[in-house]
């Protein structure tokens, strides 16, 4: 679907498609099986501007908007959702956080390296006991002269092991943890790889998205300069929620790509595979599956573009980005499940791409807020906080 992309946007989409076909497609299976993060491919994507899509040119980025960003993530994820996840996490989370909330000095220091792919970015909010309830962050940051000292464990950090720079949320007001104001006691910090006390812990052996590095972040008396605080003390949770508005658009785009990759494979197979003397695509049962997925995928894409458009206009899009992420994530699961069904027994083997989409897709309903949390966000935007009215 073209969705009235401008000529330039269409060129960017074509470039992302070409790159994915030439540089990623031949290796998808190998990277998945070995759970290998292809650093070289990220370097090449950096050269093309795919790792600094939203970063202004003055900081070394491509200076593009969300519509272009959505098309890039979708095209890459159509070929390999695991690489799409890396692009999304790098752009929206770590880079996005510094771009949106960093000081001028922090932007000048870090954005050129991130936007060009010289450095890979990571962003650590989730903890073993603080997932959906990220306000329960227990990692601490204590001021000590000209430094902050960080202690704690973050879990499921994309790029914790392969990354060069981390934005981490930590509690600067320890008293706040068990108070109603727990969200206000959290701050955001920048930690560079190589800082003593900062290391990656357990590398997750995952169901899907295996070429994406997901590891623990361990902080043990990690001393960072005071100027590595991002924005003001106590604003970290608010900043993180602001970052997730954009992040959810990128995971929605990831969902679009995952769904499209599964759908395209299923369409091709439905045309070729014959049973009862005719292509299985001639059976209404198969046609309806394809019709439903194609329709829901287009609906998800329209929601995603709407959220991206609002972002580009500088308008609030908390509800719209949650709707896009919810819809696209769920459609990607449906598309992958039905694609395996259309492939029959062959869909259950590693000889065809749909089993990988089947494994990868589930992340789209979990990462950057589960589908349940998206519904909670949408409902709160519509109804307000009824739980706080009494």
Ligand X SMILES: Cc1cc2nc3c(=O)[nH]c(=O)nc-3n(C[C@H](O)[C@H](O)[C@H](O)COP(=O)(O)OP(=O)(O)OC[C@H]3O[C@@H](n4cnc5c(N)ncnc54)[C@H](O)[C@@H]3O)c2cc1C
Binding site for ligand X (CB under 6 A): 89, 93, 123-126, 131-132, 156-158, 209, 214, 363, 366-370, 372-373, 376
CB of 389 to ligand X, least distance (A): 18
Q: How far is the CB of 284 from ligand X (least distance, A)?
A: 35
Bridge partners, 143 (sequence order): 148
Q: Closest residue to ligand X, Cβ-based?
A: 131
Burial class (CB within 10 angstroms; exposed 0-12, middle 13-18, buried 19+) of 145? exposed
Give least dist CB 346 to ligand X, A.
Answer: 27
Q: Least distance in Å: CB of 228 to ligand X?
A: 18
Largest CA distance in the chain: 79
Residue closer to ligand X, measured from CB, 22 or 372 = 372
Q: Between residues 67 and 98, which has the closer beta carbon with respect to ligand X? A: 98
Give Cα separations from 86 to 57, 102, 247, 315, 375 (angstroms): 22, 21, 12, 26, 25
Which of 238, 273 has the CB closer to ligand X? 238
Nearer to ligand X, 286 or 333 (CB): 333
- Residue (53 or 160) nearer to ligand X, CB: 160
| Closest distance of CB 344 from ligand X, Å | 29
Residue 197 has phi, psi (to 5 degrees) of 95, -5
Nearest residue (CB) to ligand X, 88 versus 270: 88
How far is 88 from 110, CA to CA, in rounded Å? 18
Strand runs (DSSP E) across 284-332, as ranges? Answer: none
C-beta of 195 vs 370, nearer to ligand X: 370
User: Of residues 127, 296, 338, 368, which has the active-site annotation?
Assistant: 368
CA–CA dist 199, 343 (Å, integer): 43
Instruction: Give min distance, CB of 372 to ligand X, in A.
Output: 3
CA distance 167 to 191: 6
Work out how close the CB of 246 gets to ligand X at its nearest, in angstroms, rounded to a whole number.
14
3-state DSSP assignment of residue 199: strand
Q: Distance between CA 202 and CA 206 in Å, rounded?
A: 12
Q: Burial, 131: exposed, middle or buried (Cβ in 10 Å; 0-12, 13-18, 19+)?
A: middle
| CA atoms lying within 13 Å on the CB side of residue 182 | 13
Given phi > 0 = left and psi -120 to 50 = alpha, else beta, which region is 63? left
Q: Is 105 a catalytic residue?
A: no
Tokens 């573009």 correspond to 305
List the one residue out of 184, 181, 234 whose CA is nearest residue 388: 181
What is the C-alpha end-to-end distance of the chain, expressed in Å? 47
Give the active site residues.
368
């Amino acid at each position: 679907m073209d969705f009235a992309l401008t000529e330039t946007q269409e060129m960017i989409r074509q470039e992302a498609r070409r790159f994915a076909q030439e540089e990623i497609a031949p290796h998808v299976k190998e990277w998945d099986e070995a759970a290998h993060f292809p650093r070289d491919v990220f370097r090449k994507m950096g050269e093309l501007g795919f790792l600094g899509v939203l970063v202004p040119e003055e900081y070394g980025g491509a200076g593009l908007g969300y519509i272009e960003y959505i098309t890039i993530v979708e095209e890459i994820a159509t070929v390999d959702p695991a690489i799409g996840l890396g692009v999304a996490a790098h752009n929206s989370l770590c880079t996005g956080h510094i771009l949106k909330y960093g000081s001028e000095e922090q932007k000048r220091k870090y954005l050129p390296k991130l936007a060009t792919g010289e450095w890979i970015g990571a962003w650590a909010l989730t903890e073993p006991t603080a997932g959906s309830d990220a306000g329960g962050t227990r990692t601490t940051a204590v001021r000590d002269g000209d430094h902050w000292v960080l202690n704690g464990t973050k879990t499921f950090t994309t790029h914790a092991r392969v990354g060069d720079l981390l934005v981490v949320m930590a509690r600067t007001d320890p008293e706040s943890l068990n108070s109603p104001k727990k969200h206000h006691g959290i701050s955001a910090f920048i930690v560079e790889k190589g800082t003593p006390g900062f290391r990656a812990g357990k590398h997750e052996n995952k169901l899907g998205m295996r070429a994406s590095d997901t590891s623990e972040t361990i902080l043990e008396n990690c001393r960072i300069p005071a100027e590595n605080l991002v924005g003001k003390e106590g604003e970290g949770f608010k900043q993180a929620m602001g970052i997730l508005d954009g992040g959810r658009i990128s995971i929605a785009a990831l969902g679009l790509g995952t769904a499209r990759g599964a759908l395209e494979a299923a369409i091709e197979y439905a045309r070729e595979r014959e049973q009862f003397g005719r292509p299985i695509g001639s059976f209404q049962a198969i046609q309806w599956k394809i019709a439903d997925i194609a329709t829901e995928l287009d609906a998800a894409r329209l929601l995603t573009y709407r959220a991206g458009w609002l972002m580009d206009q500088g308008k609030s899009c908390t509800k719209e980005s949650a709707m896009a992420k919810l819809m696209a994530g769920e459609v990607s699961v449906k598309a992958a499940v039905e694609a395996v069904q259309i492939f029959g027994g062959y869909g259950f083997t590693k000889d065809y791409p749909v089993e990988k989409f089947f494994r990868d897709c589930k992340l789209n309903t979990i990462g950057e807020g589960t589908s349940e949390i998206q519904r909670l966000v949408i409902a709160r935007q519509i109804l307000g906080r009824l739980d706080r009215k009494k």
